[in-house]
A and B are shown apart, each in its own frame.
Chain A
Amino acid sequence: MTQLTNIPAHLKKTDLTHLLKQMWQIRFFEEKVDEFFAKGMIHGTTHLAVGQEASAVGSIAVLQERDKITSTHRGHGHCIAKGAEVNRMMAELFGRTTGYCKGKGGSMHIADVDKGNLGANGIVGGGFAIATGAALTSQMKNEGYVVLCFFGDGASNEGSFHEALNLASIWKLPVVFVCENNQYGMSGPAKEMMNVEDVAKRAAAYGVPGKVVDGNDVFDVMNGVGEAVERARNGEGPSIIEAKTYRWKGHSKSDAKKYRTREEEQEWRAKDPIARLRDALIGEGLLTEESAAEIKAAAKKEIEDSVEFSKASPMPTIEDLMEDIYA
């Protein structure tokens, strides 16, 4: 297994175990969701980011509490990393009133505006301009926060990518565009859908920095995004950070994955971002096998509890249907 880059010096042991715990929470949350969809216990659709936990957790780990994010249709990880309660997330997927969106949004629309999560988005590329606007508020009101805009390799082929990058760059807005390049836009391989290897190279067109990081190395993600966030906070404008990663599961709940090989999947599974972090922390003597197992078990328990919480939560009533359309 590939070694991780060096552990950032400023991180305390508690920070490091928190990273590991969040990554386990995301993994268990999504595996549970996957299981429930397979059993027909949850309806609709969902997009899982199993295998991509380091890009979500590493990117958000460098943010301050006041900073904001915009997320994507594959957004459970971003949401957990930004501090969402897994109970309310799971309840949302169960369509309950205790869910983040009172059961009206589902997997693709979880938001926690008060905590700075401006929302997942069902429209590919839908977050670029919203993040740009949130960054404009920060600049105009001098609020000092930075916005992280998550997007995928596929979204970088949307027109909104170009328009928002251009606007954010001319106005030097405090926004960092974090590409989670998981190699496929649904079934379309990134290498067939664009004529450059790296989304980060597109940054040159806007006169902003673009950097590729190992998306399965939480520390490499933190270093890359951290530098870009600092730049944004200092008024130097946006950057693109491209985290190369891989989604282990299909695009959504029904995907026979005919567009890729099982061998390729195995190659990436060997680069499991969670196992790499765990091994690195044990290797550095910061964790023991036992303490790592405890963190894992605690994360698993929280997700199991969230299921119980959700099942015990009330369903919305017909009276709720027409509420919340207008402020």
Chain B
Amino acid sequence: MRELTYLEAVREAMSQEMRQNEDVFILGEDIGVYGGAFGVTRGMIEEFGPERIRNTPISEAAISGTAVGAALTGMRPILELQFSDFMTIAMDNMVNQAAKIRYMYGGKGKVPMVLRTPAGSGTGAAAQHSQSLEAWMAHVPGLKVVQPSTAYDAKGLLKAAIDEDNPVIFYEHKLCYKTTSDVPEELYSIPLGKADIKREGSDVTIVATAIMVHKALEAAAKLEEQEISVEVIDPRTLVPLDTETIIESVKKTGRLVVVHEAVKRGGFGGEIASTIAESEAFDYLDAPIMRLGGKAVPIPYNPELEKSAIPGVDDIVAAVKETLNRH
């Protein structure tokens, strides 16, 4: 199998889907000849033309609402928001319109749209271009929230998201864009709501999302040298959440560390931790659940400060050891 970068996998999923479904189109800022802020749509306007690769004005409120209206009337739009921080400007359309239309209308109408957007820190883009706000969206009934960590997952999950008849927020971590994995050439779908065990282990379960999956795997490799066996689970989708896979893992290991880049306070890690605390896995816990998340600070510009605002590999190693020292 050939290797693709995460970025190429996202592009390939969209291109293959657009070749087979006329209703799918992309709209967003600078996605035309420029190729998008991160280059994800590069080359697509040449193949699909400006009708289906719609370069828009800088109007996040209008383009998000336009995607909602187009979806409601039979299209399957993919909206690219340049940075997930700009969700604040698209928020009304996603939270008050897209998420609620079907319910408010008593089950009539559907909003099959995907909002793709790069999230996370690590690029020196500072406080307004580096956030991880996925917990906001996961809080809203009516939306689905996807956070792939690998190229393989990105392609399969994006295909599933485009096929969904509901609004999906699809977070692409910027530092994942250059990561590579084996990606099949044909179009395939990974169902939303199915976690992936990225590494099997028996002593501690780590549930990690997005870029933290990679850091957790690094930490697991280090811990293996010290004969500590770590299981790493990537939920891949926050809504719906595959609680079963996480519960089964915790029942096996008796220890849980949850790690995400988003600010720990009010972050989705709290949801995962409390899901376990409320579940049958609680009786299997040998130590308190530990959560690692970003510090409650805007992401700073200085690279050293930026790094220290979010969990690193050493923090994960330390957390795993701490949980092993608790009885």
Contact = CB atoms under 8 A, between A and B. Distances in A.
Given A129-B65, A164-B62, A170-B57, A134 B104 contact: no
A286 to B, nearest CB: 38
A313 interface: no
Interface stretch (A11-19, A114-122, A240-248, A264-272): A114-122
B106 A141 contact: no
B75 A137 contact: yes
Nearest to A145: B73
B104 A129 contact: no
A103 B108 contact: no
A324 B97 CA distance: 15
Interface stretch (A105-113, A185-193, A251-259): A105-113
Contacts of B109: 111, 113, 118-119
B65 A130 contact: yes
B279 to A, nearest CB: 20
Nearest to A163: B62
B97 A123 contact: yes
B181 interface: no
Nearest to B143: A326
A141 B61 contact: no
Interface residues of B, number: 41
Given A105-B106, A113-B105, A129-B62, A137 B70 contact: yes
B63 interface: yes
A141 B75 contact: yes
Contacts, number: 147
B25 A326 contact: no
Interface in A51-76: 68, 70
Contacts of A137: 69-70, 73-75
A223 interface: no
Q: Which of A105, A123, A126, A167 has the most CB of B within 10 A?
A: A167
A118 B92 CA distance: 17
Contacts of B61: 129, 159-160, 163-164
B166 A109 contact: no
Contacts of B77: 133
B71 to A, nearest CB: 7
Given A103-B106, A105-B105, A327-B110, A134 B65 contact: no
Interface string A123-164: 100101111111111101100000000000000000110011
B38 to A, nearest CB: 23
Interface stretch (A42-50, A94-102, A229-237): A94-102
Contacts of B110: 327
Contact of A325 (B68, B93, B96, B141): B141
Nearest to B239: A326
Interface of A: 68, 70, 99-105, 109, 111-114, 118-119, 121-123, 126, 128-138, 140-141, 159-160, 163-164, 166-167, 170, 323-327
Interface of B: 25, 51, 56-57, 59, 61-75, 77, 92-93, 96-97, 101-110, 112, 141-142, 144, 165-166
12 contacts: A111-B105, A111-B108, A114-B108, A129-B93, A130-B66, A133-B77, A160-B62, A160-B65, A160-B92, A163-B61, A324-B107, A327-B112
